[in-house]
């Protein structure tokens, strides 16, 4: 029988556990980066790489969760899913921004979310999110209904500028043909906005929006682990995270933005066939 204490933890307890696990994984990842990091395998394409550190970090995270919350489900980028009976699922990306990590670019993150329900954005309810950058030490957190934070600083997305003054973040798919179309769409967008940023880590792109560092973010072909934690940070900072036409975010599309800028961004994306 599932223990009531395990089945119904407080969000504060879940956040504390997620922070502890992310911090431990982050230390391991940062230490490994002091040595030589190489490609261990390729996944969906020749540019979609994984390092052994990705795998080791997810194994550590999965083990720590299983120790503390054996009845919870797990869904990770590297090792897939695991069944649970508590109604909670841990959605994990051990190193979001693996290519940045591989090259030593200090823009990558451990992303850990706890959701109620399955690892499906159309059906889950995000409860806790942690996004930690091991290279800089920045840690973003959010609890459903409890706000979003960068360290101890509460986050609130500022009132956005007009679209032509907006700084837009995006990312590209691994599929070569789709990347070509995305590049053409970005070229069409550039004259219509302040500028474009492509930093290579979806979870941190979302958190940058929550921190007011960009004004909007959109991307295609994201997986649940890419945006589960960062998406909650955006929502708790006052933003919206949606797919096209108000649907839930999915591999087809994700847009994150202040509500006042959503319609303008959607119209532009339609115009440029993004």
Q: State whether 94 and 141 are in the same domain.
A: yes
Q: State whether 186 and 235 are in the same domain.
A: yes
Question: Which residues carry a binding-site annotation?
Answer: 77, 93, 95-96, 226
Burial of residue 130 (CB within 10 Å: 0-12, 13-18, 19+) is buried
pLDDT in tens, 172-192: 988 889 989 999 999 999 999
Q: State whether 242 and 142 are in the same domain.
A: no
Q: State whether 205 and 253 are in the same domain.
A: yes
Q: What is the mean pLDDT of the chain?
A: 92
The number of beta carbons lying within 10 Å of the beta carbon of residue 146 is: 14
Q: State whether 170 and 264 are in the same domain.
A: yes
Q: Please state whether beta strands 73-76 and 216-219 pair in parallel, antiparallel, or not at all (unpaired).
A: unpaired
Q: State whether 193 and 168 are in the same domain.
A: yes
Domain that holds residue 92: 4-154
Number of domains in the chain: 2
Q: State whether 115 and 180 are in the same domain.
A: no
Q: State whether 202 and 149 are in the same domain.
A: no
CATH number assigned to the domain comprising residue 175: 3.40.190.80
pLDDT at 174: 82
Q: What pTM was estimated for this model as a whole? A: 0.92
Looking at 125, 154, 183, the residue that finishes a domain is 154
CA 158 to chain centroid, in Å, comes to 20
Q: State whether 130 and 168 are in the same domain.
A: no
Q: State whether 134 and 237 are in the same domain.
A: no
Question: Which residues carry a binding-site annotation for Mg(2+)?
Answer: 77, 93, 95-96, 226
Q: State whether 120 and 173 are in the same domain.
A: no
Looking at 154, 182, 213, the residue that finishes a domain is 154
Q: Where are the beta strands (DSSP E) in 133-252?
A: 139-143, 147-150, 153-154, 167-170, 195-197, 216-219, 240-242
pLDDT in tens, 98-113: 999 999 999 999 999 9
pLDDT in tens, 231-256: 999 999 999 999 988 899 999 999 99
CATH number assigned to the domain comprising residue 77: 3.30.540.10
User: Is the pLDDT reported for residue 42 higher than 80?
Assistant: no
Q: Which two tokens stand for residue 55?
A: 């795998």
The string of DSSP codes covering 117-142 is SSS-TTT-EEEEEEEE-TTT--EEEE
Q: State whether 97 and 232 are in the same domain.
A: no
Report helix, strand and coil shares of the chain as percent, to nearest 5. Answer: 40, 25, 35
Looking at 107, 127, 154, the residue that finishes a domain is 154
């Amino acid at each position: 029988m599932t223990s009531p204490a395990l089945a119904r933890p407080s969000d504060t307890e879940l956040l504390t556990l997620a922070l502890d696990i992310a911090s431990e994984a982050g230390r391991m990842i940062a230490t490994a980066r002091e040595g030589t990091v190489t490609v261990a395998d390729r996944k969906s394409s020749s540019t979609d790489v994984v390092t052994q550190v990705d795998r080791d970090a997810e194994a550590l995270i999965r083990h720590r969760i299983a120790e503390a919350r054996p009845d919870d489900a797990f869904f990770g980028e590297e090792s897939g899913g695991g069944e649970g009976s508590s109604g909670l699922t841990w959605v994990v990306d051990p190193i979001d921004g693996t290519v940045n990590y591989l090259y030593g670019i200090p823009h990558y993150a451990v992303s850990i979310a706890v959701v109620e329900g399955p690892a499906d954005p159309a059906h889950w309810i995000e409860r806790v999110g942690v996004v930690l950058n091991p290279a800089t030490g920045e840690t973003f957190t959010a609890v459903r209904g409890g706000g979003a934070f960068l360290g101890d600083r509460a986050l609130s997305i500022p009132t956005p500028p007009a679209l032509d003054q907006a700084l837009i973040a995006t990312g590209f798919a691994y599929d070569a043909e789709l990347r070509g179309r995305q590049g053409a769409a970005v070229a069409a967008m550039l004259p219509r906005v302040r500028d474009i940023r492509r930093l290579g880590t979806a979870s941190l792109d979302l958190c940058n929006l929550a921190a007011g560092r960009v004004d909007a973010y959109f991307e295609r072909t994201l997986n649940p682990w890419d945006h589960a934690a960062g998406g909650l940070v955006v929502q708790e900072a006052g933003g919206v995270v949606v797919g096209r036409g108000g649907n839930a975010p999915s591999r087809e599309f994700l847009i994150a933005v202040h509500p006042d800028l959503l319609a303008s961004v959607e119209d532009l994306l339609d115009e440029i066939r993004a």
